[in-house]
A and B are shown apart, each in its own frame.
Chain A
Amino acid sequence: MINLTINNKKLQVEEGTTIFEAAKLNNILIPHFCYMENVHQIGSCRICVVEVEGGKTLMASCVTPATEGMIVHTNSERVRDVRKVIFELMLSDHPKECLSCWRNQNCELQDLGNLIQLHEFRYEGAKSKDVIDSSSPSIVRDSSKCILCRRCVTVCNEIQGVGLMNPHHRGFSTFIGPSEDELLGESVCTNCGQCVLVCPVGALKEKDSTAAVWEALYDKSRTVVVQTAPAVRAALGEVFAYEPGTLVTGKMAAALHQLGFDYVFDTNFAADLTIMEEGSEFLERVTNAFNTKEKNHVLPMITSCSPGWIKFMEHRYPDQLAHLSSCKSPHMMLGALTKTYFAEKMNIDPAKLFVVSVMPCTAKKFEITRPEMFSNGLADVDAVITTRELGRMIKDAGIDFRSLEDGEFDSPLGLSSGAADIFGTTGGVMEAALRTVYELVTGRELPGIKLHIKPLSGLNRIKTAELKIENPLPAYSFLNGVTVKVAVTSGLKGAAELLEQIKNGTSPYHFIEIMGCPGGCISGGGQPRPVNDAIRTLRLEAIYREDEGKLLRKSHENEDIQMLYRDFLGAPLGHKSHELLHTVYAQRSKN
């Protein structure tokens, strides 16, 4: 233990604790800016400096470890003076256009201003950069607002392993982004939006699609259908000042109706459908592996519902694409069904249908532009808006979200099981799939408390589990005694680790779930800010609550799904399914 004094308070902290953490543990708040707990501690903004007695200079508290006998002042005259000057310096290279900035009132630089209270700008001078790159369908980069905190650099490199966001040049000319002439839209960016999520200011933002949605809503000749992903309901509340982890499923459905959408569907329905298709695909591959002599199977099979992950794979491991499940992501399936099954059923001209997906994800904005995602010349989905954008639309429409009565999803594409809910979190797709696959193989329910596979949930980077098959149904007798090995990861760095194993031929797994964003969709690039591990955990718990709250827990028991196969699709992996629900992948270059 280390003894130190901060602002005349005597404290004891563990060795290795920084001054900042020591202060925080004892309810002394030090203004800070670039710091992100456990993720990004590089000491570059210098806002968090404190005075340490005996030191020649001040110290950045977020990176300086507390040492025995240290006497620290966080609010001395000098500290407050210099903090103000540093803040002024930040602003001197920043366009102060808050009123037209989409981060207005939700901006960490403004928050800092609230603490520091400036009354004049003393150091106006040069501005270093003003590039606006809107080439990507997912992300817009406005470098004039970049404050060079480098959070995006850490996230894109250390957590996602993509390595696109980097500092370039030097001195006052330093800028953060892809290299000088490289456009995001033409780069290896996976569109995951993790950088957008951590950017404290308006320098990185999602490409706005609300305008297109409003236009469709006002267009009387169109039938506008909306669907919402599982993770949205666990985070949308935060936009309206609910505690993180509050489920707002009913209010969300009500708000969507009020916004004027003609039909409000649930992407969860398609999540159940995904389990039917993906589960069948897995069984097919496993059957090939264990039951036939010709070894033409490709295992492990990897889930394909995260478009950020898919693009990463296409750039990095173009020679391993056969491992990917051929299933489209759930919202694409639902889009395709809306324009076929639903259109037929309701007798609507598919060309007059406009499908909007509300997603926790920025990569899905890119996904709908892929040429594979068009059927009969029509886009499966016409627009993707993020949770944050939906929040903005609701506010813009003057809907008092907190006082809404709970609404309902519309059928026939609205009913879903608990298995579909957990698609929103890391480990969820795997668990949902195993609930169905295990039962199909053995005729018994998946063992485990409340149908959960505990080791697969939570925020650890790579999680694994094994499931031994005993006494299978006769059709699967060849699986008797086989131990099925599965792995789950979220965040692309972990994905690369698992892919390297596959590449080397050392992967022990049969089935792998990969989600592009750390924690899964609950902390996708389109979710409300801030996101940290505490908030991830709260959202994750909310998702499991939603699952456990349902009577229907397994995808194959969803009656609407059964009806869909009966009336329209035929069997899983059948001809229609292939046409509408499955896709192919592209080989892309590494840089």
Chain B
Amino acid sequence: MPSPAYLLKRVDFIFKDEKDWKEILKNSINRPAHELINELISSELKGRGGAGFPTGLKWKLTAEVDDSIKYVICNADEGEPGTFKDREILSKVPLKVLTSMAVCGHVIGSKEGYIYLRGEYFFLQPELNKSIREFKDYCNEINFDFTIRIFMGSGAYICGEETALFESMEGKRGEPRNKPPFPSTYGYMGKPTVINNVETLAHCYTIFEYGSKRFYDLGVQYSRGSKLFSVSGDTPKPGIYELELGMSLVDFVDEFGDGDTKAVQVGGASGFLVPRKGFRETTIGFQGKLTGISLPTGGSMMLFNSSRSMYNVLDNYLEFFREESCGQCTPCRVGCQQLLNGIKAVKRGEKNALYLNKLMRLTETMQYTAKCGLGQSVANSFSAIVENFREEMIY
């Protein structure tokens, strides 16, 4: 019996019109920095780019660093398979994002912002530039010194990783840096930098518009507010939906599944694969002390029905990682490739099923030793698929 669909709470903040942006900008930059930071902290907004770092704290840490040059960067690299909501934000409500960037500039003491836009979204540029000009004109009008520019990517998923993104903006190969130091002290051009996902900035706008309480009241403990979900795969209604955080995966599948959902990939290829038997105990949000499993996501929800071969799915993911790895560290550069070779060998019967266990050891090593989130996250879907769909891997 399907659970009632109203358990999924649709929200409409992000795409609500942006007509009041001038007022919000003017009001916000007249508020002291600490007040804005506290507003964000009490909203409990966490980054929507995947890692879920508290946004208020990020701004606060960067504001505290003493430096005359700082940067605000909007991460619009959106490369995670199954994610397509940032583009929608930038085409429908770009001024919200620009406003939040400028407010961030006010808070941390920065006069320069960049939008790192993935090369695939080249076509967004003309419109976005128009908004940027409109925005700049208004800033000039009110004597507020903040300049936003677009920096185009050129087709590299890893450049969504914040430090790789800085390297890329500096004109180099997009290879992640060692952390520490973190962006709040050493970011773009070695300067203190706030980097936020497009959607995070859009939520900031909501918070500046309505106050933190309206945001905080949505969602559940540790996972406050709403989130955009990019729904794709075997679903009758693919698209972008703003939903309250903390929903159960069962409800999600009831709403979006095609009645035959075998597994859901939460958070894209680098996220978590949940097989049918896990739907009930899984909620969507950030890890906390909630019962059951709570999965973070950049918003990608891909549904697979029973006609899909999970071997093919994994093969496709590994191919993706093998190509998109920056190639810097051994576990990821070589690991992705040998995992791919490994599952092919098992499928062809050149290695026996026990070899899958050895490959699991390999993904575990990647999880613990890879230099950045890309290599570390390969284990997520690999182990879920191999553990739950073992027969499909072999036969």
Contact = CB atoms under 8 A, between A and B. Distances in A.
B361 interface: yes
Contacts of B342: 123, 125
Contacts of A85: 331, 361-362, 365
A45 B330 contact: yes
Interface in A19-51: 42-47, 49
A109 B333 CA distance: 18
A172 B337 contact: yes
B367 interface: yes
Contacts of A65: 180
Nearest to A149: B330
A472 B60 CA distance: 69
B327 A170 contact: yes
Given A43-B371, A85-B361, A86-B331, A170 B338 contact: no
A173 interface: yes
A57 B324 contact: no
A174 B327 contact: yes
Contact of B370 (A46, A125, A172): A46
B178 A60 contact: yes
Nearest to A47: B330
A171 B333 contact: yes
A58 B371 contact: no
A126 B361 contact: no
Contacts of B340: 125
Interface in A132-148: 148
Contact of B362 (A60, A123, A128, A172): A123
Nearest to B345: A125
A266 interface: no
A47 B362 CA distance: 14
B253 interface: no
A63 interface: yes
Specify which of A64, A89, A125 lies most central, judged by the most chain B CB atoms within 10 Å of its CB.
Answer: A89
Given A57-B368, A123-B358, A169 B327 contact: yes
A46 B330 contact: yes
A126 B330 contact: no
Contact of A172 (B156, B325, B369): B325
A397 B364 CA distance: 50
Contacts of B325: 170-172
A65 B323 CA distance: 31
A173 B329 CA distance: 13
B341 interface: yes
B323 A89 contact: no
A375 B335 CA distance: 56
B330 A125 contact: no
B362 A167 contact: no
A200 B146 CA distance: 49
A29 to B, nearest CB: 19
Interface string A157-188: 00000000001011111100000000000000
B227 interface: no
Given A89-B334, A122-B358, A171 B326 contact: yes
B331 A89 contact: yes
Nearest to B367: A57
A15 interface: no
16 contacts: A44-B329, A46-B369, A47-B330, A57-B368, A57-B370, A82-B368, A85-B362, A86-B331, A89-B330, A89-B331, A89-B334, A122-B358, A126-B337, A171-B327, A172-B322, A172-B327
Interface of B: 156, 173, 178, 180, 322-331, 333-338, 340-342, 358, 361-362, 364-365, 367-371, 376
